[in-house]
Amino acid sequence: MNLHEYQGKQLFADYGLPVSKGFAVDTPEAAEEACKKIGGDMWVVKAQVHAGGRGKAGGVKLIKDPAEAKAFAEKWLGKNLVTFQTDEKGQPVAKILVETCTDIADELYLGAVVDRTTRRVVFMASTEGGVEIETVAEETPEKILKAEIDPLVGAQPYQARELAFALGLKGDQIKQFTKIFLGLSQLFHDKDLALLEINPLVVTEEGNLHCLDAKLGLDSNALYRHPDLQAMRDPSQEDQREADAAKWELNYVALDGNIGCMVNGAGLAMGTMDIVNLSGGKPANFLDVMAAPPRSAWLKRSKSSSLTTMLKPYWLTFSAVSYVAT
């Protein structure tokens, strides 16, 4: 489950991390009023969607008049924003984030993911802030710095200092980076995150570090421990079929084909999808019902229009396993 930028920054603020003063609004009038509440003479307005590339798509704008914030909100609220990370339909915009403008001297990258190979959280940092980290990894992998977090002792200050030195930070910036690094590590652990990115983490004209963006992905399997975060879910940003399936706790992933697959067991489900492909078909979904709710629930959902639109008859695959004590 992903969070919007404004939601991520709320969590950052809760952990004492430096973020811009701002308001998430849902009307043009509120956008104009937010500028007045923030004060100053320059602001940034951002369309809130679960996708990158908003700036190039016109979803981020620097403004100098509160009336421009109102006009921006009128343009985007209720509309779909199409970026290189969305499909041709784009993502619906229901909120606009209005923030203070930050003077930028340099841009860095700082993020964390769960490394499935080492089974540890790995922090990544780079001097190539503001650029998609996938692009950096492909073109200049040597510019990505890493720090593995030992789950027994947690993130350590020396790891933050090593990254800070490698990024070229100096003086008080190293202390600031250490605070941000340790705060993010604690946030990652406390909230059961699967992904965390600040891109860019900027150095301001005054020489301070500032979290200019916030991208957070939560482990959906751990949401039962975080009802407060579950309340932040925005189904409008998800595939309608996946959002519908999530309501019934189905392990469902939407695909582009037109042959529906209902299978018990993840391994068998993937094998079934391979068979469909080898036979010239295209799976419309991955669906493992082994850990699903009672039979009546998922059978009812299997007839849902959002899950079966444009499908050919379902491919049903079941398996039986016997265990013999020896």
Residues carrying an active site annotation: 109, 197
Report the C-alpha gap between 246 and 6 in whole angstroms. 23
**187, 9 Cβ separation under 8 angstroms:** no
Residue 240's CB is within 10 A of a number of other CB atoms, namely: 14
**In terms of residues, how long is the chain?**
326
Report the C-alpha gap between 37 and 151 in whole angstroms. 43
Report the C-alpha gap between 181 and 280 in whole angstroms. 49
Sign of the torsion formed by the C-alpha atoms of 220, 221, 226 and 231: positive
Residue 51's CB is within 10 A of a number of other CB atoms, namely: 19
**235, 243 Cβ separation under 8 angstroms:** yes
Task: Give the DSSP letter string of 242-303.
Answer: HHHHHHTT-EEEE-S-SEEEEESSHHHHHHHHHHHHHTT--B-EEEE-TT-S-HHHHHHHHT
Report the C-alpha gap between 249 and 262 in whole angstroms. 14
CB burial string 165-177: b at 16+ within 10 A, e below: eebebeeebbebb
- Cα angle 176-180-185, degrees, rounded to a multiple of 5: 150
Q: 70 Cβ partners below 8 Å, 6+ apart?
A: 28, 29, 31, 32
